[in-house]
Each structure stands twice: as C-alpha cells, then as structure tokens.
Homo-oligomer: A and B are copies of this chain.
Amino acid sequence: MNIYDIAKLAGVSIATVSRVVNDSPKVSEKTKERVRQIMEENHYTPNVFARGLGLNTMRTVGIICPDVSDAYMAKAVAYLEKNLQGYGYDCILYCSGYDEEDKRQAVELILKKHIDALVLVGSDYAGQPGHDTDYVQEVSSQIPVFLINGYIDSDRIFCVLADDYQAVYDVTEELLLDGRKRIFFLSNSHSYSANQKRKGYEDALRAYQMPVLEELIFYSENSIHRTRDELLLRRNLTFDSVIATEDGLAIGAVKYARAIGLKIPEEVSIVGYNNSELSVSCEPELTSVDTRVEILCRKAIDSMMALLGGQKIEKKHMVRCYLVKRFSTDF
C-alpha cells in the first residue's frame, strides 16, 4: 500500500494526499478526514516520498543508538547532528538500550514522529545469530534507513561502515610479522562489526598457516577493571599480544600486564580499537584502530540528503580504517 493506492482509493491526487500528510490548510477538513480514514484503514504510514512532495517536510531525522554515553556512539551522534544541522535538519534522539525487544520498540516509536529518515548507530542493529532484523527491514519500507557501522542486505537500508574486517586482518598480520605467535582476541560483543573483526583475525591467522585457538578468543564485558580481573583469573593462559575490539578492553589488558609484571610491548603487544581519548590516557599509550567515525557520519548524511533530493545512492559505503601507532606495540 503506497501513496498512489491511497490517492486512488480516496479519489484524490497524490499531491492532495501529500498535503493531507503535511496538514496543509489548502485541503478541506472533510477531505482530510476522508483521506486520513483511508490511510488508517489500510495501516498506511506516510513515507518520505509523500512528505517530499509536500512543501512542509518536518526536516527531522531520527537517530537511534543503544547508549549515547558510550564514547563511540556519542561521537557518532555529535557528528551526525552537526552534519544534519548543516543541511537545516533537526534530529530526534532515542537511546534504545541493547535489549532486542527495546530496540524493536524504539524503532516503532520513532516511526510515529514525522521523520524524513532514520539513522541507526552501531552494529547492534545489524543482527547476529539468533536475532533477526525484520523490524529494521520493515521500517525501511516506510522511510530510508541508514546504518552506521552495520550491514543489512536490503534495498532501502543504506550502510556506511568501517572496514573492520580489513583493519583487524592487517593488524593481525603486523603482529605475526613482528614475530608474535599467540595473539589473544578480546571482544565484548557478537555484533556485526565485532564478528567482522573476529573474521579478520581468523583469516589472517589462516593465511599465515597459524592455528585458530579457541582458548585465545575471549569475550568480556567492556569494563577496564572487569577485563583485568577476568584475565587475572586466567593467568595460566599465555599470550604475547592482544587485539581488543574496544579501547576499554585493551586498557583492561594493559592493567593485567602491569599487575603480573609483563613488559609492554616487549613481552606483550596490545592493540585497542576506536582510537578514543582512553587510548592516550593509559600508560603506555595505546596503539589503536581509528574507525574514522567523523568521515562515516559525514558520508551517511551527505548520502541521505542526496537520496531525499531524489538521487540514486550507493547501498553500501565502506570506509578504510587507520592504525594509530603509539607505545603499546613495537611495530
């Protein structure tokens, strides 16, 4: 059911439907009521095209992220908002939490606002084994959906993401060339992006004929002290390097190494992820992967505006990461 069907059923032009959607004073209350009733009966939520046809779009974009107090998401929301502001758009922010049902509900709720497009921040919306993404697919049939750092293969879901697979593949390779033999993979999530990182790690090991050892793949909470303590409980497990999927996890490993007297980077090399302020707070300062979230967000909003302006855009845009080398590695 689209705007054309509604127009046909109501016996009016699509421009009139659009005006009703925008509550234009040019349409009589009687017509408005009839059109609205037909929209309701057919469970039709006006989509971006309908609003695009009217003069009065709300110029508002919805942003949903699990938790804006997370440093990565906070940065992403800040850059998204700044770019939207540049185009004269406002943003409505929802923090959905990480729970599957809450995420679903947040998407449902924000759809009721008159938003022109939706941005989902973080790869937690891209699904993982056991969780489906039909709620994201569904909303994408109503308005364009942009995924920051996640990927869903669908016609109206536009994905802008860091090439996490390649970034971790490259770092693993550097560690192997540096002579490291037992590379510990430390993660806190099974999100799309965390899974890409793990795949990069495993593929690089395989490319160098190194075994992928289950004991060297570890999932912990993204908390500095918790990670340190988890590692202290497993101190008979040896490794000569760490690739962490978050800077906080890497700093947990730094604290562990200091606690048991391992020299960084001589005895253990440690690589963080996101190049956050944390990476320059610790001692030694962390080598960390910069996912270039500023570029990601800019690209997402530029594409969105092109799309809303009627242009065709790429469905998937990949941004290459940087490795920022500091003192926790010796390459």
Chain A residues within 8 Å of B, Cβ to Cβ: 23, 25, 28-29, 32-33, 60, 63, 67-71, 74-75, 77-79, 81-82, 85, 90-95, 109-110, 113, 224-225, 248, 251, 258, 277-278, 280-283
Within 8 Å by CB of A277, from B92, B113, B248, B283, lies B248
Neighbouring B residues of A281 by C-beta, 8 Å:
224, 251, 278, 281-282
> What would 6 more interface pairs be, CB under 8 Å, given A25-B33, A70-B74, A277-B278?
A25-B29, A28-B29, A69-B74, A69-B75, A71-B74, A258-B283
Output the nearest chain B residue to A74 by Cβ-Cβ distance. B74
Output the nearest chain B residue to A96 by Cβ-Cβ distance. B85
- Interface contact B71-A71, CB-CB below 8 Å: yes
How many copies the complex holds: the figure is: 2
Neighbouring B residues of A23 by C-beta, 8 Å:
23
- Interface contact B85-A78, CB-CB below 8 Å: no
**Chain B proximity of A160: nearest CB distance (Å):** 18
Within 8 Å by CB of A69, from B25, B29, B78, B225, lies B78
**Chain B proximity of A140: nearest CB distance (Å):** 21
Neighbouring B residues of A33 by C-beta, 8 Å:
25
Output the nearest chain B residue to A77 by Cβ-Cβ distance. B68
**Chain B proximity of A24: nearest CB distance (Å):** 11
**Chain B proximity of A1: nearest CB distance (Å):** 23
Within 8 Å by CB of A29, from B29, B67, B82, lies B29
- Interface contact A90-B74, CB-CB below 8 Å: no
Neighbouring B residues of A93 by C-beta, 8 Å:
63, 77, 81, 91-93
Neighbouring B residues of A32 by C-beta, 8 Å:
25
Alpha-carbon distance A258/B222, docked complex (angstroms) = 28
Alpha-carbon distance A23/B29, docked complex (angstroms) = 11
- Interface contact B90-A90, CB-CB below 8 Å: no
Alpha-carbon distance A103/B107, docked complex (angstroms) = 30
